Structures are given as C-alpha cells and as structure tokens.
Amino acid sequence: MKPKDLPEKELRPVVNESGIAIKPLYTAEDVAASGGADMIGLPGQYPFTRGIHSLMYRRQPFTMRQYTGFGNPADTNKRFHYLIANGQTGLNVAFDLPTQCGMDSDDPQAEGEIGRVGMAVDTLRDFETAFAGVDLEKITVSLTINGAAAILIAMYLAMAEKRGYDLAKLRGTAQNDILKEFVGRGTWVYPVAPSIRLVGDTIEYCAKHAPKYSPVSVCGYHIRESGADPAQEMAYAFCIAKAYADEVIRRGLPVDEFAGRLSFNFNCFGSIFEQVAKFRAGRSLWAKIMKEQYGATQPGSMWLRMIAGGGGGGLTFEQPEINIVRGAYYALICALAGTQTMALCCYDEAYTIPSEYAQRISLRTMQLLIEEMGLGDTVDPMGGSYYIETLTSQMRERMERIMADVDSQGGIVKLVAEGAIQAKVSAQAYQRQRAIEEGSFRKVGVNCYRTEDKTPEMEFHPYKDEDARAQVEALRRIRAERDAGAVQVALARVKADAKSGANLMPAIMQAVKAYASVGEITNMLVGEFGRFREPVRF
C-alpha cells in the first residue's frame, strides 16, 4: 500500500541527526524492506530489541537516580537524605574536579575548585561521612568518577566492608570509562595504555570480589555532548566497551564472568523517534556483538543495561523554564526506550548546580510517568510501529557501519589517543552551532520564538570558601592521626604493583583502608605511568 495524495516532492526533506532520510509515512512494506523484521523478537529474549527483561517496568519501574554532590561530604549526605525522603531509589554521586583529576584538596591546583561542582573526597573518611545512614542494600549508588575511579571504587568497597556489608552481594556502579574522558569531559590522569589497564584491573577485581558490582558504565553520553550524532554516540560507546572487554579477556577472564556487569550510559535529547529507535537498535546490536564476536552464552552478558537520560546538550540557557518541558519529553523517550535507570538534567543546569527545588521537579517528572501516565504498564509500547521498527533497523545498520569504519582506521584506542575522534565530533559540534545560529537547526527560544521577557530568578548554588578550608583542615587532621607507617607500606606496594603489572586493586584497597589520600595514591601511579598529554587537533 502506498500513501496517495502526498505530493512528496513538495514536502520539506527531513533527515534525522544520524543522517537517515525520514519518510512522511511508513507501512509494513518499509519494515520488511529494512531487513530487520527478524531482529524484533520478544522482550527478555535474544536479541533483546524490545527490552532486556520479559516484564520490564510491569515488574519493576526504572531506578530514579539524580546526579548530586557538592561541597563537603556532610553537605552531600544531607542532599542524599533529602532525595531519598522524596522517593529517589538510587544515588548518583558528583565529585569535585580535584577529586576527579586525582588531586587532594590541599593541592595548589585545587584552589577555588574544592567542592564546587561536586563533593570533595580526600580519604576514606569522606566516604564514611557521605554515606552515613544510607542503606546500601536498598539504595544503589553510582559513582561518577573516571580518572580516579580505581581509588574511589576501592573507597566504596572498603566503606561498605567496614559497615558490615557482604561484598559478594553489594550492588552499585562506577562510571570508570576513561576512553570517553579523552573524547569529552576531560578528567583523565594517565596516558591511554595504563588508563585502560586500570579499567581492566577494576573489572577483573570486581568479577572476583564484588561480582554484583558494576565497575564500568560505558558512556556514549559525553561523546554525544561533544558533538557526536545519536548513531555515533552508541557506536563509539560499543567500540570503547569492546576495548575494555578485550583488555580483560587478554588476561584470561572468560567473557561470561564479567560481561554481565558491564553497563552503559546514554544521552536522550533530539527526536523522540530517532532516540527510541537508537536504544532499541543498540540493545540488539550489543547482544549480537557479545554473542557472535565474543561467544557469550549467558543472556546477562548480552544485555545492554543502561542509565539513560540527562539531555543537557538539548537544554537551553534561553527561557530556562521550558527546559522542564524538554525534560519531561526526555524522560518519556527513556521510558519508551526501556532504560534500567533514569536521571534528568535540571532546568537550571545551564546556570548553576541544581537547587533542591529543581531536583525535585526532575524527580517528580520521572515519577509522573510511572504513577500517572501508564509508562510502567506494558513492555516496549513502541514495538510494532512501522516507523519505529524501520528506523530501528536503519539505526542499527548505521551503527554497524560506524563501528566498521573505526576498526578499518586502526581501532578506537588509536583514534582516541591521536585525537581523531575528538577532532571529528568537535567539527560536528561547530557545524551544529552554525546551523543553530543560521536558524536551519531549530531550537525553541534560541532561534525561533525568542522573547525579551526577563529570565526568571535563579537560585544560584553558593560556594563557600570556609567549606573548602574545612575540607583541607580535615585532610590535615587525618594525615596527622593515621598510622603513617601503614600508609608508607601501602603506597610503596601501589608503586611496586604499578611497575610489576600486577592487578593494582589489592594494593589500592590496602592504601585507602590506611587512609591514604586520593592525591597520594594518584601520585604513586603518575610516578610510574606519567600523565596524559592531550593531542590538540582541528
């Protein structure tokens, strides 16, 4: 059946962000022609296009996990309890930049940055304070940490162990995706090769000692924020995830012993349909990769478990209140796409660290979907749509092509180390910005429907120098009180293991338990590994 009376030639052409031409109408013929009909299947069954679980939200709604953290650990602990009291079911911790870059609060480069964009962490004591009163069995914690991930994972495990939790049962996630930090976000410390080794160390260690913990969350998210299109976002993330898997397999760990704990983090701004198709396509492509290329046999190893949400790149500085509406659509996309966990950027985020009020609006946005809008009632409600199924196949094909291109150019590790991916996505970001300024890429409130009305008053997050000083003093106190001999022994072991090539996690665990600081441990590793030198390419 062909649509009649449609003067297609007179219609404006539509091409989605991933470069796929969009027709005004889709029918069963398009689904058949897309060649992906046999990839649809059923939820909970290979290739998992429709969802990794058979009952999805009908059994358990997505976890709601707003990104939070600022100031001293005690301040962050208060906000954690506020969010939990408001019904949040997970925590997603933001760390300040010195912590993320592996520096202590008394490092000269930390001045002015302590506790500013996240919580300051120097030693295990800070983790003990931040998570006081949080039930780590009921609330799963995600640590947004990369360059310093091995140290902070060790702190989390040590803190949980001290409080009597069984590591064999402990759940939680660390972002720990260093390759994407080289592309966007920028909290790298060491050169590329030792950075990948450290990721491998955490995966290997957790597989043996904390098998329910997810040591890595591979992020397409920030690559998208840096300028990638939606198909590239997912394709590059898969290339990166494969690089980590290869690192661990090279050490002799069988794929089914770790792949089930790999998780992912994706963005969601853009066309509703392109985004939903992206997630469905990605789910089946990842399953196919794990099964066919890696020989995974456990379904869990093939699951694309993910946090989806955020959408910061789609939000605007102009008319910030309409970001609340954008956030609601982003949440809808993620729920329609079958994410395991969701977080939303807040409407005030282009201005400041979100206020409690803004955080609550984001949390309520997600709760509305489940409680009022029926998003938790049926699995994969978009499944079977001619448009969505056709687009899902087309997006999958596009992702496969991008991945093949990366491989043919020498692989993702080489392309990231040389700055080639960075240059590519940054050129695209420039084109996008030009298109926005020319008006060909529409942004409401920015290049159309502008208003001269005054921007509503924003509640700016305060930065207090006295809190930064208190953090530095607390670190000095711990340095004076701790067993200096034990710290020296542990740090020497970190250095020795860095040199010998042993898995670094046991040494790092020993060091954090002795209250060695983030900066002290990092400096030991820098002594052996050196620092990353950023390739600047245009």
Partner 1 sequence: MSTQKRIKVVLAKPGLDGHDQGAKVVARALMDAGMEVLYTGLRQTPEAIARISQEEDADVIALSSMAGSHLPICRKLKPLLEQAGLADKLWVIGGNLPAQDHAELRALGFKGIFPSSSRLEDIVNYIQANAP
**Residues binding partner 1 (CB under 8 A):** 97-98, 100-101, 103, 109-113, 116-117, 181, 184-187, 225-227, 316-318, 350-352, 426-427, 429-430, 433-434, 437, 446, 460, 463, 534, 536, 538
Type of residue found at 197: R
Residue among 151 and 259 whose Cβ is closer to partner 1: 151
> Closest Cα to residue 361, out of 337, 325, 335, 332?
325
Shortest distance, position 535 Cβ to partner 1, whole Å: 8
Q: Which is nearer to partner 1, 101 or 403 (CB)?
A: 101
- Shortest distance in whole angstroms from residue 145 CB to partner 1: 13
Residue 275 near residue 313 (C-beta atoms within 8 A): no
Strand-pair category, 262-266 with 213-214:
unpaired
Could you tell me the smallest distance in angstroms from the CB atom of residue 102 to partner 1?
10
Nearer to partner 1, 155 or 425 (CB): 425
Shortest Å distance, C-beta 315 to partner 1:
11
Backbone angles phi, psi at 412, to 5 degrees: -65, -35
Helical H segments across 70-211, by residue range: 73-85, 97-100, 124-130, 149-162, 178-183, 192-209
Q: How many CB atoms lie within 10 A of CB 274?
A: 21
| CA pair distance 352, 426, nearest whole angstrom | 24
Q: Which is nearer to partner 1, 194 or 312 (CB)?
A: 312
Output the smallest distance, CB 321 to partner 1, in A: 15
Locate all alpha helices (DSSP H) within 289-419, ordered by sequence: 299-302, 322-337, 356-371, 386-408, 412-417
Q: Do the beta carbons of residue 241 and residue 262 sit within 8 Å?
A: yes
Nearer to partner 1 (CB atom), residue 228 or residue 507: 228
Q: Find the shortest distance in angstroms from Cβ 448 to partner 1.
A: 14
Residue 536 CB, nearest approach to partner 1 (Å) = 5
Q: Across the beta sheet with 67-68, what order do the strands follow?
A: 67-68, 90-93, 140-143, 172-174, 213-214
329 versus 351: smaller Cβ distance to partner 1: 351
At 487, the amino acid letter reads V
Q: What would the two tokens of residue 91 be? A: 């925590």
Q: Reduce the DSSP state of residue 143 to 3 states and report it.
A: strand
Residue 98 C-beta: closest distance to partner 1, Å? 7
Minimal distance in Å, beta carbon 12 to partner 1? Answer: 25
- The least CB distance from residue 117 to partner 1, in Å, is 5
Nearer to partner 1, 252 or 538 (CB): 538
Q: 420, 488, 484, 394: which is closest to 31 by C-alpha?
A: 394
Query: Residues of 455-473 as b/e, b for ≥16 C-beta within 10 angstroms?
Result: eeeeeeeebeeebbebbbe
In the complex, least distance from residue 226 CB atom to partner 1, rounded to whole angstroms: 5
DSSP, collapsed to helix, strand or coil, labels residue 232 as: helix
Minimum CB separation from partner 1 for residue 517, in Å?
Answer: 17
Q: How far is CA 92 from CA 76, 88, 89, 118, 534, in A?
A: 11, 10, 10, 11, 28
Count the neighbouring beta carbons within 10 Å of the beta carbon of residue 108: 6
Which residue in 93, 124, 97, 123 sits closest to 110, CA to CA?
97
Q: Which is nearer to partner 1, 142 or 187 (CB)?
A: 187
Measured from the CB atom, the residue of 189 and 505 that comes closer to partner 1 is 189
Using the minimum distance from each CB to partner 1, give the nearer residue, 184 or 311.
184
Who's near 261: CB < 8 A, 6+ residues apart? 203, 206, 207, 211, 212, 213, 214, 215, 216
- Cβ-contact 202, 247 below 8 angstroms: no
State which residue, 112 or 527, has the beta carbon closest to partner 1. Answer: 112
Q: Which is nearer to partner 1, 214 or 232 (CB)?
A: 232
| Cα distances (angstroms) measured from residue 270 to each of 197, 267, 274, 332, 439 | 35, 9, 7, 12, 16
